[in-house]
A and B are shown apart, each in its own frame.
Chain A
Amino acid sequence: MRPPLERGMPATPKPANLPDPRLARRSFLGFGAALTGSLALGATPSSAQPQPASPPADAPWSQTLGPGVVDRPYGRPADTESGVIRRNVPWLTAGTESSISFSPLQDLHGIITPNGLFFERYHAGRPDVDPDQHRLMIHGLVERPLLLTMKDIVRFPSVSRIHFIECPANGGMEWRAAQLNSLQFNHGMISCAEWTGVRLSTLLEEVGVKKEAAWAMVEGADGAHMNRSLPLNKCLDDCLVVYAQNGEALRPEQGYPLRLVVPGWEGNVSIKWLRRIKLGEKPWYSREETSKYTDLMPDGTSRGFTWLIDAKSVITFPCPEKPLAGPGLYEIRGLAWTGNGKVRRVDVSMDGGVNWQSARLHEPVLSKALTKFTLPWRWDGTPALLESRVIDETGHVQPTITQLRKQRGSNSVYHNNSIQTWQVKPDGSVFDVQTG
C-alpha cells in the first residue's frame, strides 16, 4: 500500500503576472529576456484592457514561465474546469448522508470515469477508514475462518478489469414522465473504472467453501453496515475484491481501502468499505434487498433479487447541457452498456424511432464495461428527436419507456433501462422528453 498522498491542496493563491521571487532567481540562468517580456506585460496599464486576440498575438501564457514540477504534487483539473463536478438533487433525499450524486456525463469523454467524478451513493455518509486497522473477515460455512489485513490482501495474485457500476435507480425519476432536463441527473449514476484487486474466488478457495454453502452475505464497515446476499455462483464467477481504481488506491467515496465489485449487477451489491463475507445456505433478505432494491409491479407484487443491469445506452452529445450551436456537421456521441456482457450494436434515430442507423462502436468493447459509440450527423436546423438503442451480445434490445411501462407500470423505481429521447429544437436547444 502506498501512503496516502496529500490531495487537492489548493495552489497558493497568487495574483496573475506579478513578479515571483522564484522567477527572479531563474533570470540568472538566462531566461532574463523572456521573463522581462512576460512580467512587463503584467505590469503595463494595457493589462486592464482586453488582451489582444491570440492569434495573431502570443497569448499571455505563451509569454510566461509556468510553475514547475511538484507545484501540484497531486494534480488536479484546470481551474476553468471547475464546473465539471458531481452534483446532487437536493429535493430527492432528507440529507446528503444517505443520498446520491451524479457523474457529469456531459463533460466526460471515453469510457473511463475519472476518480474524482465517479458517482457517489452512501447510506451512512462517507466513512474515514484507517487502512492499517481495516480487516476483512471471511467466515460462516467455510473450512478456515480468516482475518485479513490490507497488506495480506494485496499479496494475493492481482487482476485488473474494466467494469461499469450503475445504481439501479439511475433514471428512476423518469418512470412516470420526463422530469429532469439533464443528462447528468437522468443518467449520471453510472461510472466505469479499471479495478485492481483479487478475485473473490481466490479468497474463497483460500478459506475452503463448505459444500452446503450456496450464498454469501457481504457487509461494509460504514455506519449502515450495508449488507447484501449474493449467490455463491456469482461470487466464484467474476466478482473482485478491489483496492485500486484507475491505477491508484480506491477513493474514500468508492470504498477505501477495500470494496467488492460485482460486474454487471446493480451497484448496491458492490459493497464499499468491505469488512465481512459470510457464507450460508440461504439468502439473508436484508432491508436492502426487501424494503429497497426490489421492484414493485402494477399488480402489487414485487420482484426481489433482480440484480442484473439490463442493456442500456444514452446519447451524451448533444444533450440538454450541451446544445447544438447551429446547423452543420456534428458527431453524435454516446455510451452503451449491459450487465449481460458485451455491447453488440448501437442504433441511432433522429426522428423519434421511425428510422435507425447503426453507430460506430469504439474499441475497446469490453464485457460489462461502458462502450463508446459515435455517428456523424448533418443537422439542417429542423426539429429532431434523437434516440439511441443498444443490442447486446445476448440479443437483448433496449426497450422504449412505453414498452417497459406496459410490463412494469410506473412504480418500480429501479431498473429503468429505456431509450432516452432528446428533443432538438430549431435553435439547437435540447430537452428531455418522452414519446408515446
Chain B
Amino acid sequence: MFRQASRPLLLGAALTAALKAALVAIATAAGAAEPGHYGYGRPATPAEIAGWNIDVRGDDGAGLPPGSGSVAKGTEVFAEQCAACHGTFGEGEGRFPKLAGGAGSLKDDRPELTVGSYWPFAPTLWDYINRAMPMQAPRSLSADDVYALTAYILNLNDIVPGEFVADRDSLPKVRMPNRDSFTWTDPRPDTMAKPCMSACANPADVRISSTAEGRDLTPRTTGPLDTMQPK
C-alpha cells in the first residue's frame, strides 16, 4: 500500500523534500525485499517455469528437449493416436486436415497447404504436436513419441528418408521445401484507391459477376441452429 503511495507520479507538489526522501527510502528498501514496483504476486520458481516452458522456436529449434524418435516408431504411434482423424498416411479423414501431399501446388488454382507443401520450419511441427495433439488429449505424448510422430509426418512428405531419427540436433537441420517462400514484414496496404465521389465508373460496366443467390451454401439465420442436414 505504502509503496503504491510513493509512486513519483502521485507525489503532490506540496510534499516536502524531507517527506519525499523518506518515501523514496522506504520504496527502495521495500523494492530490495520484494522486487517490482507493485510487488504483487510472487517469483515464478524454476520448477514452475520448467513445467510450462514448452515452446520450441520454429526456425532454430531452440527449446527442443532431449529424446528422439524414428520414422518406424512414428508409424506405430500415428496409427494408434492420429490416424482416426488424419488418415493412416496423413490423407485426412473427412474434413480433418491433410498432413501430407500438395507438393508444388501453391500456385495452383486450388492449392493444397500441408506440412510438406507449406510449413517453413520442421521444429514447429514438434512444437505443435506437443502442445495441441492429439486433439482430444493434448500434452499426453512423451517427448520421444512427439519426435517419432514428427519424423513420420516428415517422411510421409518425402522430406526425410525412412531411417531418419528426429532429435534436438537433427530436426532443426531439416530443410522444409517451402522455407524460403515466406516474407515476414507486412507490405500492405495492397491498394491505394482514391476515394472518387461521382461518375467513378461507366454504369454499363457495373455488372454482377457472382451472386450467392440460389447457391445452397448458407445456413438459416432464423430459428434454431441449422445443421444443414437434409430436412
- B and A form one assembly: yes
Interface residues of A (CB under 8 A from B): 83, 85, 87-91, 93-94, 97-98, 104, 106, 123-124, 137-139, 143-149, 152-153, 155-156, 177-182, 184-185, 205-208, 217, 219, 223-225, 227, 275-276, 278, 280, 282-287, 290-291, 294, 296, 298-308, 310, 320-321, 345, 347, 351-357, 385, 389, 391, 396-400, 403-404, 406-408, 411, 415, 423, 431-436
Known contacts A147-B44, A152-B41, A432-B211; A291/B118 CB under 8 A: yes
Check A224–B131 contact: CB distance below 8 A.
yes
CA distance A308 to B181 in the complex (A): 21
User: Scoring B residues 139 to 155 as 1 if CB is less than 8 Å from chain A, else 0, what string do you get?
Assistant: 10000000000000000
Selected contact of B200 from candidates A286, A299, A356, A411, CB within 8 Å = A356
B residues near A137, Cβ cutoff 8 Å: 44, 48-49, 52
By the criterion CB–CB under 8 Å, are A354 and B199 in contact?
yes
Query: Contacting A225 at CB < 8 Å: which of B43, B132, B182?
Result: B132
A286 touches B206 (CB 8 A): no
Residues from 187 to 201 in B contacting A, C-beta threshold 8 Å: 187-201
Q: Closest A-chain residue to B208, C-beta based?
A: A433
CA distance A152 to B41 in the complex (A): 6
A145: nearest residue on chain B (CB-CB)? B44
By the criterion CB–CB under 8 Å, are B201 and A284 in contact? no
- Does the CB pair B195–A397 fall under 8 Å? yes
Cα distance A408–B183 when bound, in Å? 14
Within 8 A of A (CB), among B168-216: 178, 181-203, 206-213, 215
Nearest 5 pairs of A and B residues by beta carbon: A285-B58, A177-B210, A181-B212, A287-B128, A399-B191
Say whether B132 contacts A145, CB under 8 Å.
no
List of A residues within 8 angstroms of B185 by Cβ: 305
Q: Which residue of B lies closest to A358 (CB)?
A: B197
Mask: chain B, 53-82; 1 = CB below 8 Å from A; 0 = not? 111111100000000000000000000000
Pick from B44, B115, B199: contact of A139, CB below 8 A: B44
B206 adjacent to A124 (CB under 8 Å): no
**Cβ–Cβ contact B209 & A436, under 8 A:** yes
Sample 22 A-B pairs with CB under 8 A, ordered by A number: A90-B227, A91-B95, A97-B135, A143-B35, A155-B40, A179-B212, A208-B35, A208-B36, A225-B131, A285-B57, A286-B128, A290-B120, A291-B128, A300-B107, A302-B178, A352-B201, A385-B208, A396-B189, A397-B192, A400-B193, A406-B191, A435-B207
- Chain A residues near B95: list those with CB within 8 A: 91, 93-94
CB distance from B37 to the nearest CB of A (A): 6
Q: How far is the CB of B185 from chain A (nearest CB, A)?
A: 7
Known: A87-B226, A124-B138. A206 touches B37 (CB 8 A): yes
Contact B215 A304 (CB under 8 A): no
Residues of B within 8 A of A352 (CB): 201, 203, 206
Interface residue? B94 (CB, 8 A): yes
- Write the nearest CB–CB distance from A79 to chain B, whole angstroms: 14
Contact B111 A88, beta carbon cutoff 8 Å: no
Binding site secondary structure of chain B: loop
- Output the nearest chain B residue to A148 by Cβ-Cβ distance: B41
20 new A-B contacts, CB < 8 A, other than A184-B221, A352-B206, are: A83-B222, A97-B135, A138-B44, A139-B53, A144-B43, A147-B44, A179-B217, A217-B55, A225-B132, A284-B58, A287-B119, A296-B113, A308-B186, A310-B188, A347-B195, A347-B197, A356-B197, A356-B200, A385-B206, A435-B209
Q: How far is the CA of A152 from the CA of B56 in the complex (A)?
A: 29
CB distance from A132 to the nearest CB of B (A): 15
A355 touches B228 (CB 8 A): no
For A385, give the chain B residue with the smallest CB separation: B206
Q: How many whole Å from B94's CB to the nearest CB in chain A? A: 6
Chain B residue contacts of A282, Cβ below 8 A: 57, 59
Could you tell me which residues of chain B, from 99 to 128, have a CB within 8 Å of some CB in chain A? 106-107, 111, 113, 115, 118-121, 124-125, 127-128
In the bound complex, how far is the Cα of B161 from the Cα of A280, in angstroms? 33
A104 near B217 (CB under 8 angstroms)? no
Residue numbers of B with Cβ under 8 A of A are: 35-38, 40-45, 48-49, 52-59, 85, 94-97, 106-107, 111, 113, 115, 118-121, 124-125, 127-128, 131-132, 135, 138-139, 178, 181-203, 206-213, 215, 217-219, 221-223, 225-228
In this complex, the member of A104, A227, A299, A354 whose beta carbon has the largest number of chain B beta carbons within 10 angstroms is: A354
Contacts of B222 in A (CB 8 A): 83, 321
Residues of B within 8 A of A298 (CB): 107
Q: Out of B107, B131, B215, B218, name the residue touching A299 (CB < 8 Å).
A: B107
A91 and chain B: residue at smallest CB distance: B228
Q: Report Cα–Cα, A146/B35, bound state, in Å.
A: 10
- In whole angstroms, how far apart are the Cα atoms of A20 and B57 in the complex? 65
Known: A223-B138, A282-B59, A287-B127. A433 touches B54 (CB 8 A): no
Q: Which listed residue, A206, A225, A290, A353, touches B206 by the CB 8 Å rule?
A: A353
Q: Are A354 and B43 in contact (CB under 8 A)?
A: no
Find out whether the CB atom of A286 lies under 8 angstroms from the CB atom of B124. Answer: yes
CA distance in complex: A137, B55 (Å)? 14
Contact B35 A90 (CB under 8 A): no
A contact residues around B227 at 8 Å (CB)? 90
Distance of A396 Cα from B192 Cα, bound (Å): 7
- Whether B138 lies near A104 (C-beta < 8 A) is no
Given contacts A145-B49, A224-B132, contact A302 B181 (CB under 8 A): yes
- Bound complex: CA A224 to CA B132 (Å): 4
Residues in A with CB closer than 8 Å to B124 are 285-287, 290-291
A156 neighbours in B (Cβ, 8 Å): 38, 40
A87 in contact with B44 given A224-B138, A305-B186, A356-B200 (CB within 8 Å) = no
Contacts of A415 in B (CB 8 A): 188
Residues in A with CB closer than 8 Å to B54 are 225
Q: Are A423 and B208 in touch, CB under 8 angstroms? A: yes
Closest to A278 in B: B55
* Residue from A90, A285, A397 having most chain B Cβ neighbours under 10 A: A285
Could you say which residues of chain B place their CB within 8 Å of the CB of A354?
198-203, 206
Distance between Cα atoms of A38 and B181 in the complex (Å) = 74
- B213 pairs with A286, CB closer than 8 A: no
Q: A88-B225, A299-B107 are in contact. Are A147 and B42 (CB under 8 A)?
A: yes
